[in-house]
A and B are shown apart, each in its own frame.
Chain A
Amino acid sequence: MPFIPHTAADVAAMLEVIGEQATADLFDEIPPELTIAALDGVPPALSEMEIGRLMTERAGFDGRRLNFIGAGAYEHHIPAPVWAIATRGEFYSAYTPYQAEASQGTLQVIYEYQTMMTALTGMEVSNASLYDGASALAEACLMAVRANRGRESRRILLPRTVNPTYARVARAIAGNQDVEFEPVAFDRIQGRTLLESVRAHDPRDFTALVIQQPNFFGCLEEVDELTDWAHANQLLVIAVVNPVALAVLKPPGQWGAAAGRRGADIVCGEGQPLGVPLASGGPYFGFMTTRMQYVRQMPGRIVGETRDSGDRRGFTLTLQAREQHIRRSKATSNICTNQGLLVTAATIYLSLLGAAGLQRVAEASMRRTADLERALTRIEGVSLAFDAPRFHERVLALDRPAAPLLAALAERGISGGLDLAEHYPELGHALLVCATETKSDADIASYADALREILHGIA
């Protein structure tokens, strides 16, 4: 039996101690009419060699395509030490650090992670992570409703330039606690949210404004004026940010231009760009940072520094009274896990890159996307949709539907981008493309050549 070490002698000796004849007797409390005879629907066991063959075959079938999709998950180079260390058994097979003295490795990693995320986002405190960026936004919205004491409202302004899947997830999760989301239109020329669109809503009806930077189209929002408007009207600001972009963009802790500005109130986002592979969509991790005044409203685990009985420094989970295992129905959330393994990888990644390295990754990605934009917009029938300043993604306007083009590109081993028809039909034929530092000149030329051929039959 795989992974079961018992010999027949072991079993006999153990049954004797227990005082039973057979292991089946251990289940005599289960009504016999409920007991099943065999597990139909599960195939016979495979040896490790056989499952290895099967998985290699299936992986090979899928192959590797040249990837130009972003849309919330970004392909960056992952340094070799990141997963070599994160998959060490001591990290990989450790549990949640409830026995702090036996978990100082995990706890110190999380403390270092919390410090790095607060530095990156310009805020004061971080939690130990949430499941992913989308659910982090849902949690941030619930937190804003709790934290904005000055407002009774449970309504949140959610611009359409926020990742549309995040909007769906926020509705699915926060909608169950009667939180409502009001969309805000975006400008069709610039590809971002104008202050006048936000102003069209009566602020007294709302408790928070969500701002994604860069937004889903890759464009840069005017975060200062939006933040100032929200704060002037007693709304909290929830920032949704890309952590790599924060190496070159103003962090949410400094958003706002008005005198006495205080920056965003809650910051969240998807941590995947920090050393986590694309891996078909997960596992990733969500991050959340905020100001100390809101720390007790923040869901998820938090690690704090303390002393041991010999006055040595150590780390432990703290503020657990807010969490599900203590407060039960009054908990800030029902969240139980964080994404420990991914946080470990991200902490190693940030330690290797540092601020200078992260800045280079961000700049190189911006440059590659600019190169991609140039190469593709040279093709007739392909143009740039928006003119706002941007980070490392572009929306391309096409002269025909994107779906068949993407299928043809996939045949040629290229993942060309995300078709925006489902979420933004008003944009007509539009495609969201991204090129990170991992793309070479040859890669970009391959894409341009393939697209030109598909569109115009020119080889």
Chain B
Amino acid sequence: MELREPLIFELSRAGRRAASQFPPPAGAAEVSAAAEVPVHLRRAQAAALPEVSELQVVRHFTRLSQLNFSIDTHFYPLGSCTMKYNPKACNAYAMLPEFLAQHPFAREPQGFLACLYELQEMLKAITGMQGVSLTPMAGAQGEFAGVAMIRAYHRARNDAARNEIIVPQAAHGTNPATAAMCGCIVKEVPCDAGGSIDMAALKSAVGPRTAAIMLTNPSTLGVFESKIVEVAQIVHAAGGLLYYDGANLNAILGKVRPGDMGFDVIHMNLHKTFATPHGGGGPGSGAVGVGSRLLPYLPIPIVGREGARYRWLTERDLPRSIGRLSGFMGNAGVNLRAYIYMRLLGREGMARVSEFASLNANYLLKRLQAAGYEAAYPGRRASHEFIITLKREATLYGVTAMDVAKRLLDHGFHAPTTYFPLLVPECLLIEPTETESKEELDRFCDAMVAIRREMEQTPEMLRSAPHALPVRRLDDVRAAKQLNLVWTRPRGDIGPDGGTAHREGEVALR
């Protein structure tokens, strides 16, 4: 059976309408206000948007959804992404009509602000920080806010020469990109053979130009930085601050607090740790938490409380804030979903997240090792994720991590993260999360066992995978060389609407 779905433009036919979606017609006596737009400012030709019926739209996009893997349909062990179950309740209650109807500039809605205020407080509690802002709209914006606050802090102390950010070699790509966006220079330090940060290298890297170190703990290599207190001392002694990349918060939730580890600022990925939807690439939410040093610089607006009343704290309340990062107050609806999730888990549930995330990761690691796969750091525990390296298999059988990933798709599992971190050759970064059952993990292991057998006997099946999906392996070299980023009507084609690209008179204003 071939699962193919044409482009919506290919379904389009001139004159077709989803008529009930159009606003009611104007009364005959009314003069169109649009006619008052001067001709030279008016649109002359209608935009080439599709002309389809409502059923065609519903069928088209429903069928497209069926081409996707998703948490709702597949085990999704993407390392560093924390693909845990997105509770339906979070969406249902965040989309209550009264919440959806609020204009961001309407008089401060107390019910909604109470939720956000309580979310701020809970995030402070679990991270051990003194202040939280919910405005950054993604992890990358949260990072930007963190680095910008650090720079503002040093500038305020007349120490503006501090423009170096220390970053472990294994860091996520956003870390150095963010440093550059804030006008900072990146200094990479290597990891030792055990996957921890090289302390000697760190000591020689810090100095009077050190603004901060950006770290995640556990690291992107899946190991807990056990010397973190010493790292904090070294960096603080040199006059720098500590930034915590919260991408791996799922591993330590309820066990350790970044504030206690010595971090001055943390960004959290609410779309990872706090189960808000990934939505095919977003929206995320990159809330930031800070220690007392950085409180004055938090991005605005923040929810404040005066007695029983909630209100937005803005430029007047935080004159030294790094400013606004969004047109309104960040991804409010995402924050609301995170709030609902945290209330559903509660104190005990939050504390158990890391336990079961770690249990699942360690179990999977042991079973995969028993099946013959090589852990990148065999002497270390898994945190909430771990790395398998296929460098030996690549040499022995000529199969890559990418091939294994594609074959896993055929088995009905989304592949783990591949080729990140860059330090480990032919790697798979595997994060099962705490919401997966033992049977699901066992099924995944069975698939990996079968793939290993194929590696040895019929490696070509892996190299040409996937076989069972709507498309075979896609040519990404061609995609980059022959850029086709916009659909255009094929030349010489009469066209679905009978030949004319646009209908005259569509934009004729009365």
Is the CB–CB distance between B284 and A281 below 8 Å?
Answer: no
> Which of B64, B178, B332 is in CB contact (< 8 Å) with A108?
B64
In the complex, whether A60 has a CB less than 8 A from a CB of chain B is yes
Is the CB–CB distance between B49 and A3 below 8 Å?
Answer: no
Q: Which of B91-99, B288-296, B391-399, B450-458 contacts A (4 or more CB under 8 A)?
A: B91-99
In the complex, whether B9 has a CB less than 8 A from a CB of chain A is yes
Is the CB–CB distance between B68 and A104 below 8 Å?
Answer: yes
> Which of B85, B325, B436 is in CB contact (< 8 Å) with A172?
B325
Chain A residue nearest to B165 in the complex (CB): A329
Is the CB–CB distance between A91 and B65 below 8 Å?
Answer: yes
In the complex, whether B287 has a CB less than 8 A from a CB of chain A is no
A42 and B122 in contact, given A134-B326, A318-B483, A351-B8 (Cβ under 8 angstroms): yes
> Which of A5, A283, A306, A363 is in CB contact (< 8 Å) with B283?
A283
Is the CB–CB distance between A109 and B61 below 8 Å?
Answer: yes
Is the CB–CB distance between B347 and A43 below 8 Å?
Answer: yes
Q: How far apart are A63's CB and chain B's nearest CB, in angstroms?
A: 6
In the complex, whether B23 has a CB less than 8 A from a CB of chain A is yes
Q: Mark B1-37, 1 if CB is under 8 A from A, else 0.
A: 0001101110000000110011110100010111011
Residue in A3, A63, A360, A369 with the greatest tally of chain B CB atoms within 10 Å: A3
Bound-state CA distance A220–B451 (Å) is: 62
Bound-state CA distance A304–B474 (Å) is: 11
A30 and B329 in contact, given A88-B62, A355-B46 (Cβ under 8 angstroms): no
Is the CB–CB distance between B363 and A17 below 8 Å?
Answer: yes
A106 and B176 in contact, given A45-B347, A316-B476 (Cβ under 8 angstroms): no
Is the CB–CB distance between B70 and A94 below 8 Å?
Answer: yes
Is the CB–CB distance between B478 and A51 below 8 Å?
Answer: no
A351 and B33 in contact, given A45-B343, A55-B93, A63-B98 (Cβ under 8 angstroms): no
In the complex, whether B504 has a CB less than 8 A from a CB of chain A is no
B36 to chain A: which residues have CB within 8 Å? Answer: 389
> Which of A24, A65, A308 is in CB contact (< 8 Å) with B471?
A308
Is the CB–CB distance between B18 and A248 below 8 Å?
Answer: no
A220 and B81 in contact, given A106-B280, A308-B473 (Cβ under 8 angstroms): no
A355 to chain B: which residues have CB within 8 Å? Answer: 46-49, 51, 502, 506-507
In the complex, whether A458 has a CB less than 8 A from a CB of chain B is no
> Which of A5, A99, A129, A407 is in CB contact (< 8 Å) with B436?
A5
Is the CB–CB distance between B126 and A280 below 8 Å?
Answer: no
A318 to chain B: which residues have CB within 8 Å? Answer: 476, 479-480, 483, 485
Q: Mark B335-359, 1 if CB is under 8 A from A, else 0.
A: 0000010111111111110111011
Chain B residue nearest to A42 in the complex (CB): B347
Is the CB–CB distance between B340 and A55 below 8 Å?
Answer: yes
In the complex, whether A89 has a CB less than 8 A from a CB of chain B is yes
B363 to chain A: which residues have CB within 8 Å? Answer: 14, 17-18
> Which of A11, A24, A45, A88 is in CB contact (< 8 Å) with B346?
A45
Kindly state the interface size class of chain B when it binds its partner. Answer: 35 or more
Q: How far apart are A317's CB and chain B's nearest CB, in angstroms?
A: 8
Q: Which of B201-209, B222-230, B235-243 contacts A (4 or more CB under 8 A)?
A: B222-230
A116 to chain B: which residues have CB within 8 Å? Answer: 47, 49-50
Is the CB–CB distance between B281 and A169 below 8 Å?
Answer: no
A30 to chain B: which residues have CB within 8 Å? Answer: 224, 226, 252, 255-256
CB interface residues, A 4-19, toward B, < 8 Å: 4-6, 10-11, 13-15, 17-19
Q: Which of A31-39, A200-208, A230-238, A442-450 contacts B (4 or more CB under 8 A)?
A: A31-39
Q: How far apart are B211's CB and chain A's nearest CB, in angstroms?
A: 13
In the complex, whether A1 has a CB less than 8 A from a CB of chain B is yes
B121 to chain A: which residues have CB within 8 Å? Answer: 41
CB interface residues, A 217-267, toward B, < 8 Å: 220, 222-224, 246-251, 257
In the complex, whether A381 has a CB less than 8 A from a CB of chain B is no
Is the CB–CB distance between A369 and B33 below 8 Å?
Answer: yes
In the complex, whether B424 has a CB less than 8 A from a CB of chain A is no
Is the CB–CB distance between B487 and A363 below 8 Å?
Answer: no
A95 and B81 in contact, given A112-B7, A334-B174, A355-B46 (Cβ under 8 angstroms): yes
In the complex, whether B100 has a CB less than 8 A from a CB of chain A is yes
A280 and B366 in contact, given A31-B226, A92-B91, A270-B327 (Cβ under 8 angstroms): no
In the complex, whether B234 has a CB less than 8 A from a CB of chain A is no
In the complex, whether A168 has a CB less than 8 A from a CB of chain B is yes
Q: How far apart are A43's CB and chain B's nearest CB, in angstroms?
A: 6
In the complex, whether A196 has a CB less than 8 A from a CB of chain B is no
Is the CB–CB distance between A99 and B140 below 8 Å?
Answer: no
A59 and B111 in contact, given A79-B18, A341-B282 (Cβ under 8 angstroms): yes
Kindly state the interface size class of chain A when it binds its partner. Answer: 35 or more
Chain B residue nearest to A121 in the complex (CB): B47
Is the CB–CB distance between B33 and A119 below 8 Å?
Answer: no
In the complex, whether B378 has a CB less than 8 A from a CB of chain A is no
Bound-state CA distance A358–B17 (Å) is: 12
A131 and B137 in contact, given A5-B435, A415-B103 (Cβ under 8 angstroms): yes
Bound-state CA distance A71–B106 (Å) is: 11
CB interface residues, A 307-334, toward B, < 8 Å: 307-310, 312, 314-316, 318-319, 321, 323-331, 333-334
Is the CB–CB distance between B475 and A83 below 8 Å?
Answer: no
Bound-state CA distance A85–B350 (Å) is: 31
> Which of A13, A26, A41 is in CB contact (< 8 Å) with B125?
A41
Chain B residue nearest to A124 in the complex (CB): B486
Is the CB–CB distance between A352 and B57 below 8 Å?
Answer: yes
A122 to chain B: which residues have CB within 8 Å? Answer: 47
Q: Mark B75-113, 1 if CB is under 8 A from A, else 0.
A: 010100101111101011111111111111111011110
B325 to chain A: which residues have CB within 8 Å? Answer: 135, 169, 172-173
In the complex, whether B131 has a CB less than 8 A from a CB of chain A is no
Chain A residue nearest to B316 in the complex (CB): A422
A42 and B278 in contact, given A330-B180, A360-B22 (Cβ under 8 angstroms): no
A354 and B350 in contact, given A35-B256, A95-B81, A247-B43 (Cβ under 8 angstroms): no
A17 and B366 in contact, given A101-B469, A329-B180 (Cβ under 8 angstroms): yes
Q: How far apart are B433's CB and chain A's nearest CB, in angstroms?
A: 10
Is the CB–CB distance between A308 and B32 below 8 Å?
Answer: no
In the complex, whether A171 has a CB less than 8 A from a CB of chain B is yes
Chain B residue nearest to A60 in the complex (CB): B98
In the complex, whether B215 has a CB less than 8 A from a CB of chain A is no
B355 to chain A: which residues have CB within 8 Å? Answer: 23-24, 26
In the complex, whether A336 has a CB less than 8 A from a CB of chain B is yes
Q: How far apart are B356's CB and chain A's nearest CB, in angstroms?
A: 5
A26 and B362 in contact, given A333-B181, A339-B282 (Cβ under 8 angstroms): yes
In the complex, whether B493 has a CB less than 8 A from a CB of chain A is no
A246 and B17 in contact, given A81-B57, A336-B139, A367-B33 (Cβ under 8 angstroms): no
B110 to chain A: which residues have CB within 8 Å? Answer: 58, 61-62
Is the CB–CB distance between B67 and A38 below 8 Å?
Answer: no
Is the CB–CB distance between A340 and B280 below 8 Å?
Answer: yes
Q: How far apart are A387's CB and chain B's nearest CB, in angstroms?
A: 12
CB interface residues, B 139-163, toward A, < 8 Å: 139-141, 143-144, 148, 151
Is the CB–CB distance between A306 and B23 below 8 Å?
Answer: no
Is the CB–CB distance between A168 and B437 below 8 Å?
Answer: no
A337 and B138 in contact, given A61-B110, A69-B105, A89-B73 (Cβ under 8 angstroms): yes
A1 and B352 in contact, given A58-B111, A61-B111, A119-B49 (Cβ under 8 angstroms): yes
Is the CB–CB distance between A329 and B327 below 8 Å?
Answer: no
Chain B residue nearest to A26 in the complex (CB): B358
Bound-state CA distance A250–B509 (Å) is: 13
Q: How far apart are B261's CB and chain A's nearest CB, in angstroms?
A: 6
Supply 29 A–B pairs (Cβ within 8 Å), ascending by A.
A2-B344, A2-B349, A4-B356, A26-B359, A29-B223, A41-B124, A42-B350, A52-B93, A58-B115, A59-B97, A62-B109, A81-B54, A90-B73, A101-B409, A104-B471, A111-B7, A115-B7, A177-B183, A282-B104, A282-B331, A307-B474, A310-B471, A319-B483, A334-B140, A335-B140, A336-B139, A337-B271, A359-B46, A363-B509
Q: Knowing that A102-B69, A355-B47 are A-B contacts, what are 5 other residue pairs whose CB atoms are under 8 Å apart, sorted by A's residue number? A: A48-B89, A48-B344, A102-B409, A118-B486, A325-B420
Cβ-closest 9 pairs across A and B: A41-B125, A45-B346, A89-B72, A341-B279, A281-B328, A58-B111, A172-B323, A281-B104, A340-B281
